[in-house]
């Protein structure tokens, strides 16, 4: 699983606070986390981009995935056939909840979980 987060933050320390909140929501399915990048987002002064590669449990099922997604945001767009990408954004029409500090999140599933 690959996750790309765009978070509101003035510095790396603030960005990592939001990262920690996201990781807390997905900890039940994670075996290993590799943080690939935590850096300022070039478009905005108050935003960081964080990229993660995760090894998740093989027994991840659709209900666990749905619960995980709902814990992060109440509105997701899905892409692929079969679905292999999920996108949530604070600016998406109908989004009433997204984790504090998260502006946008992409989750890409590996073939093993599709």
pLDDT surpasses 70 at 114: no
Question: Containing domain of residue 94, as a range?
Answer: 2-113
Summarize the confidence of residues 59-86 as an average pLDDT. Answer: 89
Beta-strand relationship, 102-108 and 30-40: unpaired
The structure's pTM equals: 0.90
Q: Say if residues 48 and 39 touch (Cβ distance below 8 Å).
A: yes
CA pair distance 37, 48, nearest whole angstrom: 10
pLDDT for position 28: 85
Q: What is the CATH number of the domain that holds 86?
A: 3.30.70
Q: Say if residues 95 and 89 touch (Cβ distance below 8 Å).
A: yes
Count: domains in the chain: 1
CA pair distance 59, 24, nearest whole angstrom: 19
Closest-CA residue to 52 (of 70, 71, 67, 32): 32
Q: What is the pLDDT of residues 23-65, one digit of tens each?
A: 999 888 889 999 999 999 999 999 999 999 999 887 777 888 8
CA pair distance 108, 94, nearest whole angstrom: 22
CA pair distance 80, 72, nearest whole angstrom: 21
Q: Does residue 73 come out as left (phi exceeding 0), alpha (psi in the -120 to 50 range) or beta?
A: beta
């Amino acid at each position: 699983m690959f996750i790309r987060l765009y978070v509101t933050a003035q510095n790396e320390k603030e960005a990592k606070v939001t990262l920690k909140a996201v990781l807390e929501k997905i900890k039940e399915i994670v075996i290993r986390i590799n943080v690939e990048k935590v850096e300022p987002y070039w478009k905005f002064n108050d935003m960081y981009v964080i990229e993660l590669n995760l090894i998740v449990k093989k027994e991840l099922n659709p209900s666990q995935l749905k619960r995980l997604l709902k814990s992060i945001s109440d509105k997701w767009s899905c892409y692929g056939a079969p679905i292999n990408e999920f996108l949530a954004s604070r600016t998406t029409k109908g989004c009433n909840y997204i984790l504090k500090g998260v502006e946008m999140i992409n989750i890409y599933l590996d073939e093993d979980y599709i």
